[in-house]
C-alpha cells in the first residue's frame, strides 16, 4: 500500500504563526489567557492547556495583570482596547491578512462607503472586521442577500478571508445593478482554497482518503465533503489512534489530507503509522 500526502495541507500561515507566538508566550510566562479557542483542534488545545493555556469567552474575563493572547481571527477595536487595559502583556496573533481586512474596512468607512462584507455574520473574524468600522455596514452571506429593489449609492466591498472567489464574483455581478459606485478589496486568502484544490486533485489518484482534523473544524469538514463529492471513500479521524485498518483493507493507494487547523505533530504521527503498515 502506498500513501500520498496532499500538498499543501494542514496549518495555514496565519494559524501557524499565531500558535508559534502562543507557545513562545507559554514558555516565557507560564499562564496565558486566550480569548476564544486559538485553534479548532481539540488535541492541540489540550496540548497547549498542558503548557498553561486558559480559555476565556470574552474580554471582560481576562484577569487584570495577566498575559492575554489574541488568535488569528483578530478582534474588534473595543475588545482589543479592553484586553490591553486588563492584561499586562498582550500577544497579538492576528493574521496579517485579517489585519489587512480591518484596515480596508476602516478605510472604506472613512471614505464614506457603505461597507459590505461577504461572510458569516456570526464568525469571529467578521465580528472583528465589523468592530473596525465607524459608519454603516452590512454583512451578506452571498448574492442572494442583495436586495434587487434597494439602491446603494456608494458601496465598499470586502470579504471574510475564507470565502470563495466565485461567491464574491456573484455578489459583485448583482451589485452593479443596484449601485452607483463600487469599490472592491479582494481580501480572500488563498490558503483555504489551495487546500481544497489539493484534496480534489489527490482524490483522483487514490482509492481512499484519510482526512485528519478536529470534528469541530469547519474547514476539515469541507475537505471531507470535497473528497466525497469526487466519489472516493473517506475516513475522517482526529488522531492516528482512530485509523481503521478494516477501512484500509484492499486499498492500494491512500491519500492523506489535513484541515487548516491540524498541527504538524498529528499529521506526522499518522504518516509514521502508515509507514509501518
Nearer to ligand SF4, 19 or 254 (CB): 19
Cell reading at 235? 475516513
CB of 89 to ligand SF4, least distance (A): 22
Cα of first residue to Cα of last residue in the chain, in angstroms, is 8
Nearer to ligand SF4, 95 or 226 (CB): 95
Instruction: Name every residue whose Cβ is closer than 8 Å to that of residue 193 and which is 6 or more positions away in sequence.
Output: 164, 165
The reply on whether position 12 binds ligand SF4 by CB under 6 A is yes
Cell reading at 175? 451589485
Nearer to ligand SF4, 66 or 196 (CB): 196
The reply on whether position 75 binds ligand SF4 by CB under 6 A is no
Pairing mode, strands 89-92 and 114-118: unpaired
CB of 165 to ligand SF4, least distance (A): 13
Nearer to ligand SF4, 14 or 156 (CB): 14
Binding mask 168-207 for ligand SF4 (x = CB under 6 A): ---------------------x-xx---------------
The reply on whether position 69 binds ligand SF4 by CB under 6 A is no
CA distances from 89 to 48, 53, 145, 216 (A): 18, 14, 41, 29
CB of 18 to ligand SF4, least distance (A): 7
CB of 231 to ligand SF4, least distance (A): 27
The reply on whether position 161 binds ligand SF4 by CB under 6 A is yes
The reply on whether position 98 binds ligand SF4 by CB under 6 A is yes
Catalytic residue at 194?
A: no
The reply on whether position 105 binds ligand SF4 by CB under 6 A is no
The reply on whether position 97 binds ligand SF4 by CB under 6 A is yes
State the catalytic residue, choosing from 125, 165, 170, 194: 125
- Alpha carbons within 13 A on the beta-carbon side of 58: 3
CB of 145 to ligand SF4, least distance (A): 22
The reply on whether position 13 binds ligand SF4 by CB under 6 A is yes
Near ligand SF4 by CB under 6 A: residue from 43, 76, 162, 217: 162
Nearer to ligand SF4, 35 or 232 (CB): 35
CB of 23 to ligand SF4, least distance (A): 17
Among candidate residues 190, 182, 188, 240, the one with its CA nearest the CA of residue 211: 240
Label residue 6 left, alpha or beta by phi (over 0 means left) and psi (-120 to 50 means alpha). beta
Angle at 134 between CA 133 and CA 136, to 5 degrees: 80
Under the rule (CB under 6 A), what is the footprint of ligand SF4? 12-15, 72, 95, 97-98, 161-162, 189, 191-192
Catalytic residues: 125
Amino acid at each position: 500500500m502506498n500513501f500520498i500526502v496532499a500538498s499543501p495541507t494542514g496549518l495555514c500561515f496565519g494559524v501557524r504563526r499565531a500558535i508559534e507566538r502562543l507557545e513562545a508566550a507559554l514558555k516565557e510566562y507560564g499562564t496565558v489567557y486566550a480569548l476564544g479557542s486559538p485553534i479548532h483542534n481539540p488535541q492541540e488545545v489540550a496540548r497547549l492547556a498542558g503548557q498553561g493555556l486558559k480559555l476565556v469567552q470574552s474580554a471582560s474575563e481576562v484577569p487584570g495583570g495577566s498575559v492575554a493572547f489574541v488568535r488569528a481571527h483578530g478582534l474588534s477595536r473595543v475588545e482589543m482596547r479592553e484586553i490591553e487595559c486588563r492584561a499586562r502583556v498582550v500577544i497579538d496573533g492576528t493574521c496579517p491578512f485579517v489585519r489587512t481586512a480591518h484596515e480596508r474596512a476602516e478605510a472604506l468607512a472613512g471614505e464614506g462607503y457603505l461597507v459590505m462584507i461577504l461572510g458569516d455574520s456570526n464568525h469571529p473574524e467578521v465580528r472583528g472586521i465589523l468592530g473596525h468600522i465607524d459608519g454603516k455596514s452590512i454583512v451578506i452571506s452571498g448574492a442572494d442577500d442583495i436586495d434587487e429593489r434597494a439602491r446603494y449609492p456608494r458601496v465598499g466591498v470586502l470579504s471574510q478571508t475564507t470565502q470563495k472567489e466565485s461567491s464574491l464574483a456573484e455578489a459583485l455581478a448583482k451589485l452593479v445593478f443596484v449601485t452607483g459606485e463600487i469599490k472592491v478589496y479582494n481580501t480572500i486568502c488563498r490558503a483555504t482554497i489551495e487546500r481544497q484544490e489539493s484534496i480534489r486533485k489527490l482524490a483522483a489518484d487514490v482509492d481512499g482518503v484519510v482526512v485528519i482534523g478536529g470534528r469541530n473544524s469547519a474547514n476539515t469538514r469541507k475537505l471531507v465533503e470535497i473528497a466525497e463529492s469526487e466519489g472516493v471513500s473517506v475516513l475522517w479521524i482526529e488522531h492516528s489512534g482512530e485509523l481503521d485498518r478494516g477501512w484500509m483493507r484492499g486499498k492500494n493507494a491512500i491519500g492523506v489530507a489535513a484541515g487548516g487547523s491540524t498541527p504538524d505533530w498529528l499529521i506526522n504521527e499518522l504518516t509514521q503509522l502508515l509507514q509501518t503498515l
